[in-house]
Structure 1
Amino acid sequence: MKIDKLFNYTIVFVALMSVFNPVATKAQDTLSKYILTPKPQPAAKITGPKVFGVRPKHPIVFTVTATGTRPITFSATNLPAGVTLDALTGKLSGSITKAGAYTINLHAKNNIGSSSRQFKIVVGEKIALTPPMGWNSWNIYGDRVSQEAVMANAKAMVNSGLINHGWSYMNIDDAWQGKRGGDFNAILPDSSRFPDMSGLVHEVHNMGLKIGIYSSPWIETYAHRIGGSAMNPAGTFEPVKVNVPRREKKIPYAIGKYIFAENDAKQWSKWGFDYLKYDWNPIEYPETKLMYDALRKSGRDIIFSLSNSTPYRSIKELSTVSNAWRTGGDIRDTWESLSARLFTQDRWAPYARPGHWNDPDMMILGYVGWGKTPKPTRLTPDEQYTHVSAWALMSVPLLLGNDLTKLDEFTISLLTNDEVLDVNQDPLGLQATTISKRGETGIMAKDLENGSIAAGLFNTGDTTTTVTLRWPDLNIVGKYIVRDLWRQKDLGTFVNSFPASVNKHGVVLISLRKADE
């Protein structure tokens, strides 16, 4: 996995040009050695999370996903009363009145083979029982997001096959807002950018995906759009001049006297949104609880994600009324920004649990741009493996921040490795913590539901080095089979330790399962 830095600047260009240039196609072929993820087998195989949470009487929005040659037909046994499964699309729908855990047997079949899996629907107060997986508009479009862009990326999520691996949320970030109005005096979309919000939500749902929205309890958002409060009872809003220094914007960057949390939540529920990114600083409990209650009363399950830089001193309280929270500031596509999030998240780990997730920010893979000319990420491929591996181990939301219409084969391989994604989606919901740190190397590990252990051997230094996982650091003894999760193959049986050569800024991601004595 030793990779020249020039690779990550050229791969997308090669991917785009290969259609028109046979020389480019040949060049792309020479890069295939950097792709570690095996291609999915043609037989139908169920993927994605193994557990799903929904509140009593709320609509179920979930698509059973599978890899394999299409067409694939889906079926299930032990479906609870009120729940149906579409055989062609895999969409689960309906609602369940009585709280409890319902175990379903899912089946997927094509003309080559079939697979089955137990799937649990937990009806109660907890939602987001595994970290959300999807896309957010900010890191590519910034404040230039539009309905057309969201729709194009939703189609790319489907056409690229990412949807078949559990990627589902299409989240609209800041700058969609127009002004207040409508049945609820809620924020309505800027019609020049989002001419048909209801239609967009409907189309995204019809694709088997979910969709999210953005807001803030402030009077004005970071993108100088209307927020969730105002200084007048009508909620009218006039943006300040963009070039005014923020320190002089005492009124806009503050919470107004009049709060419209319930108005907005009712509108989002009516449109059919499934996710809310709520963005301001400092994040405090009163406005968090207010929006949590508004979402809970909306009649729809809407994941509630706090941004940005959640104060650690308040996380115990805040984590009870939110599904995810940013543990720091905005990420950028540099090694410095990424590496600052490695081995620094352990203190947050006690608050990570099913339904509640730490969030070190969105992913910086593929084409990014923040509203400017899109460009390939500045991360080297080794750094991208580190990025995905760390986010998987830490059980944090996987929200892509790139242009999905410009996906290349390397980026697709990073996002479609089901063994790696399963580490993130493990039903135990444990966040990996640092079990060993020696100089510029470190190891993060966590237990998995199936009794195995996932571990990442990281090298943050500038030269290739050997990183050794020692059994005492895991509190285990005896023989263990070590599996390379990226290559999806067993490496052998080891006793007491496992050494690996790790590239600079790279990782070796493994699992360990007890061997027969």
Structure 2
Amino acid sequence: MRHPHTRTIHRRVAGALAAGLLCAAGFAAPAAAAPPADPPAPADGLALTPPMGFNNWNSTQCGADFDATMVQGIADLFVEKGLKDAGYRYVNLDDCWALPERDANGRLVPDPVRFPDGIKAVADYVHAKGLKLGIYTSAGTKTCSNTGFPGALGHEYDDARQFADWGVDYLKYDNCNNQGVDARQRYRTMRDALRATGRPIVYSICEWGENKPWEWAADVGHLWRTTGDISDNWSSMLSILKQNLPLAPYAGPGHWNDPDMLEVGNGGMTDTEYRSHFSLWSVMAAPLLIGTDLRKASRSTYDILGNKEVVAVDQDPLGRQGSVVSSAGGRWVIAKEMADGSRAVALFNESGTAQRIATDARAAGLPGARGYSVRDLWQHRTYNTAGTLAATVPAHGTVLLRVAADPRWAAHPPAVELGLDGGLLLTAATPATLTSTVTDLGGTPARQVSVALTGPAGWRVRATSPASAAVLTTGGTLRTGWRVTAPAGTPPGSYGLTLRAGYRSPSGTAETVQVPLTASVVVPPPSGTSYLGDLPWLSAVNGWGPVERDTSNGESAAGDGRPLTIGGTVYAKGLGVHALGDIAFYTGGACEQVTASVGVDDEKDAKGTVAFEILADDTKAAGTGVLTNAMPAQQLTADISGAQVIRLVVTDGGDGVDSDHADWANARLNC
């Protein structure tokens, strides 16, 4: 499926999904009828673990560099860069591989410019590498690209035979131009056509979750899309995560929930966010289809995609999708049962600031035990814990653990948690007081414990109490006070600090742990009434493109928006955002009220559903219900007295982020 904002035939994921979504405040189970506790694996033995491979669409779409040379180059890189060894197998073609018309015999014709030797020659090349080839078409008269290549509706058996004759191993079957034919009929017909070929072909149903395929497709396809298209930004990834998580009971060997391809490496997110993306898709037992052009990929991209310990979570043969343990305040704990009895546990921080996220082994589903082994799958280190699983997780970060009730737990060093009490909001030349904590979570003592806090060059960071301890026993904590001063004249903005601790295990091995932190240098807000669009923000997360000042969201570069317009009324001042949006402002306890006229911008016609919230120090101070384009602007007023930070939050109304242009018109701050 295509970019949801440019592909004109895209339809929104049905509102029936809304009851099954999660929100930052908590978790809701899907409203759909419950599936069997353990749906049986299909008899064909295909996709017993989630398919892993590559699809070109997210990086090339129909560009000139999508051709046989590219596909063969990706196969080469799978082998050269160790991705094949990590488990990646499928090299999949997306749309635009064919000519726009069938031949005189009604057969599909590969584009002779892109694929001069045909698809079979490419399949032979890929197979010679020990890999498999995938192809794409749509369950309609045309495919989804703007050109519209021949779809398979009415040609299912002939097209399936062609695919099998070419040596195709995987079919992605899209949902465009379907002429209103019942979804179950469309997808079952192609299932039967594929089976009739006698060739084992993994069948990927791409109908975007519109007809709840998780309820009916376990005996139709091997995987089914649960949402609209993913895009290479934090908001899109997060929205799709929240739609897919409640569907855990429907996944299993041979039938997987598919939250769409990976964006890792495409450049729209940070490496921290990409590690979260990869971790969360793995703990959800999602198909792992690389969406970046590996010919241009960085070392960090290969490191993320090639992390075999994370891949092992995704590929666990038990086939469980992880379930939500807790999610309050954007502090997510997601646990996945593993075949060996262990649990993969993701501590995921949705928020824009570092947060402590904690659970325990029993809550994650493990039996009671005196101690547990804990493997950090990104740090590749093993510790022991008496039961607590906790970490200070960076903004948008994920700590992914594999936890087991291991009789040899005491052979590992104790897990040590680092934390920081006190805010990281500083004014230049004014000391801030902080307290660091180092806590032994293990069932064995940590010895010769020391802690250090470092800041940018020129900053003064001084301990005001002891920064070492001879020993910490289980649950023991070293608390150290700090004075941190940014130099006079330091511009407002975000600056990195590092909290680091060293200690020795009972066996004498030296261990080091550290947490990256972000401090914000701020300036007090002006007295009186100010437009928020005229003030600097602490942070801004936006679904598409940057937050715009005094215009609507244009989805791409800064300054590409239009006049803010809600219900026919044009506003000269305000903020234009796109769900999921979150803008934080420093108010320093000196302000009393925020007011705004809010709604969906008129530029999206009848599309777009959003909800607005104003948070004062993470406590909801005001909010709306779900708003649509058909509604006039609503006045929103929040009492923020005493708050240090306020946040303007826009959520997606519970149906994904397609066309969710939201306006904070005339947004004002009274101080």
User: What interval of TM-score do these two structures reach, taking the shorter chain for normalisation?
Assistant: 0.5 to 0.7
- What's the counterpart of residue 20 of structure 1? none
- Contact 1:458–1:507 (Cα < 8 Å) also in 2: yes
**Distance (Å, rounded) in 2 between the aligned partners of 1:500 and 1:214:** 42
- Contact 2:342–2:403 (Cα < 8 Å) also in 1: yes
- What's the counterpart of residue 227 of structure 1? 150
- The answer on 1:392 being equivalent to 2:291 is no
- The answer on 1:480 being equivalent to 2:372 is yes
| Correspondence list, 1:83-94, <5 A | none
One-letter code aligned to 1:432: G
Q: Report how far residue 190 of structure 1 moved.
A: 1.3
- The answer on 1:444 being equivalent to 2:334 is yes
**Greater RCO (CA < 8 Å, at least 6 residues apart):** 1
- Contact 1:212–1:276 (Cα < 8 Å) also in 2: yes
The alpha-carbon distance between structure 1 residues 123 and 305, as it changes in their structure 2 partners (threshold 3 A), is closer
Q: Report how far residue 489 of structure 1 moved.
A: 1.6
- Contact 1:352–1:429 (Cα < 8 Å) also in 2: yes
Q: 1:324 aligns with which of 218, 223, 236?
A: 223
Deviation track 1:107-151 (CA, whole Å, cap 9, x = no partner) reads: xxxxxxxxxxxxxxx994231101111100101110122222212
One-letter code aligned to 1:209: L
- Contact 2:276–2:398 (Cα < 8 Å) also in 1: yes
**Distance (Å, rounded) in 2 between the aligned partners of 1:162 and 1:127:** 20
**Distance (Å, rounded) in 1 between the aligned partners of 2:220 and 2:253:** 13
- What's the counterpart of residue 216 of structure 1? 138
One-letter code aligned to 2:77: A
**Distance (Å, rounded) in 2 between the aligned partners of 1:405 and 1:313:** 36
- Contact 2:223–2:257 (Cα < 8 Å) also in 1: yes
Q: Report how far residue 451 of structure 1 moved.
A: 1.0
- Contact 1:395–1:423 (Cα < 8 Å) also in 2: yes
**Distance (Å, rounded) in 2 between the aligned partners of 1:347 and 1:312:** 16
**Distance (Å, rounded) in 2 between the aligned partners of 1:123 and 1:473:** 32
**Distance (Å, rounded) in 1 between the aligned partners of 2:150 and 2:224:** 19
- The answer on 1:453 being equivalent to 2:374 is no
- Contact 2:214–2:257 (Cα < 8 Å) also in 1: no
- Contact 2:333–2:345 (Cα < 8 Å) also in 1: yes
One-letter code aligned to 1:457: L
**Distance (Å, rounded) in 2 between the aligned partners of 1:515 and 1:142:** 47
- What's the counterpart of residue 510 of structure 1? 401
**RMSD of the TM alignment (CA)?**
1.9
- What's the counterpart of residue 492 of structure 1? 384
Q: 1:405 aligns with which of 284, 295, 299?
A: 295
- What's the counterpart of residue 44 of structure 2? 125
| SS of aligned partner of 1:428 | coil
| SS of aligned partner of 2:61 | helix
Q: Report how far residue 388 of structure 1 moved.
A: 0.6
- The answer on 1:276 being equivalent to 2:171 is yes
Q: 2:186 aligns with which of 275, 280, 287?
A: 287
**Distance (Å, rounded) in 2 between the aligned partners of 1:408 and 1:313:** 37
- What's the counterpart of residue 257 of structure 2? 358
The alpha-carbon distance between structure 1 residues 212 and 410, as it changes in their structure 2 partners (threshold 3 A), is same
- Contact 1:177–1:225 (Cα < 8 Å) also in 2: no
Question: Post-superposition, which runs of at least 4 consecutive aligned residues in structure 1 deviate over 4 A?
Answer: none
- Contact 1:176–1:189 (Cα < 8 Å) also in 2: yes
- Contact 2:226–2:243 (Cα < 8 Å) also in 1: no
| Correspondence list, 1:152-231, <5 A | 152-178=73-99, 179-181=101-103, 185-196=106-117, 197-223=119-145, 224-229=147-152
- Contact 2:345–2:364 (Cα < 8 Å) also in 1: no
- The answer on 1:137 being equivalent to 2:137 is no
Q: Report how far residue 225 of structure 1 moved.
A: 3.2
The alpha-carbon distance between structure 1 residues 420 and 280, as it changes in their structure 2 partners (threshold 3 A), is same
- Contact 2:272–2:396 (Cα < 8 Å) also in 1: yes
- Contact 1:481–1:494 (Cα < 8 Å) also in 2: no
Structure 1: gaps spanning 5 or more residues: 1-121, 230-254, 369-376
Q: Report how far residue 156 of structure 1 moved.
A: 1.9
The alpha-carbon distance between structure 1 residues 164 and 515, as it changes in their structure 2 partners (threshold 3 A), is closer
- What's the counterpart of residue 345 of structure 1? 244
Q: Report how far residue 327 of structure 1 moved.
A: 0.9
- What's the counterpart of residue 380 of structure 1? 270
**Distance (Å, rounded) in 2 between the aligned partners of 1:437 and 1:470:** 14
Q: 1:304 aligns with which of 203, 209, 213?
A: 203
Deviation track 1:1-25 (CA, whole Å, cap 9, x = no partner) reads: xxxxxxxxxxxxxxxxxxxxxxxxx
Deviation track 1:462-513 (CA, whole Å, cap 9, x = no partner) reads: 1111100223422442322111012222122322x21111000001000111
**Distance (Å, rounded) in 2 between the aligned partners of 1:189 and 1:468:** 53
The alpha-carbon distance between structure 1 residues 360 and 313, as it changes in their structure 2 partners (threshold 3 A), is closer
**Distance (Å, rounded) in 2 between the aligned partners of 1:299 and 1:186:** 19
- The answer on 1:262 being equivalent to 2:152 is no
Q: Report how far residue 334 of structure 1 moved.
A: 0.7
Deviation track 1:70-109 (CA, whole Å, cap 9, x = no partner) reads: xxxxxxxxxxxxxxxxxxxxxxxxxxxxxxxxxxxxxxxx
- What's the counterpart of residue 235 of structure 1? none
**Distance (Å, rounded) in 2 between the aligned partners of 1:228 and 1:430:** 34
- Contact 1:343–1:433 (Cα < 8 Å) also in 2: no
The alpha-carbon distance between structure 1 residues 472 and 493, as it changes in their structure 2 partners (threshold 3 A), is closer
| SS of aligned partner of 1:266 | helix
**Distance (Å, rounded) in 2 between the aligned partners of 1:400 and 1:332:** 13
**Distance (Å, rounded) in 2 between the aligned partners of 1:326 and 1:290:** 18
Structure 2: gaps spanning 5 or more residues: 1-40, 409-671
One-letter code aligned to 1:204: V
Q: Report how far residue 406 of structure 1 moved.
A: 1.3
- What's the counterpart of residue 242 of structure 1? none
Deviation track 1:424-453 (CA, whole Å, cap 9, x = no partner) reads: 000011100111111111111111001111
One-letter code aligned to 2:60: Y
- The answer on 1:150 being equivalent to 2:45 is no
- Contact 2:361–2:403 (Cα < 8 Å) also in 1: no
One-letter code aligned to 2:273: E
Deviation track 1:319-347 (CA, whole Å, cap 9, x = no partner) reads: 32001111111111111111112343233
Q: Report how far residue 271 of structure 1 moved.
A: 0.5
- Contact 1:187–1:226 (Cα < 8 Å) also in 2: no
| SS of aligned partner of 2:240 | coil
| Correspondence list, 1:33-48, <5 A | none
**Distance (Å, rounded) in 2 between the aligned partners of 1:384 and 1:298:** 39
Name the % identity: 37
Q: Report how far residue 186 of structure 1 moved.
A: 2.6
Q: Report how far residue 312 of structure 1 moved.
A: 5.1
* Aligned pairs, number: 357
- What's the counterpart of residue 91 of structure 1? none
**Distance (Å, rounded) in 2 between the aligned partners of 1:451 and 1:443:** 18
The alpha-carbon distance between structure 1 residues 332 and 314, as it changes in their structure 2 partners (threshold 3 A), is closer
- Contact 1:217–1:227 (Cα < 8 Å) also in 2: no
Greater fraction of residues in helix:
1
Deviation track 1:270-326 (CA, whole Å, cap 9, x = no partner) reads: 110000000015771001000000001112111110114123544321232001111
TM-score, with length taken from structure 2: 0.51
**Distance (Å, rounded) in 2 between the aligned partners of 1:472 and 1:453:** 10
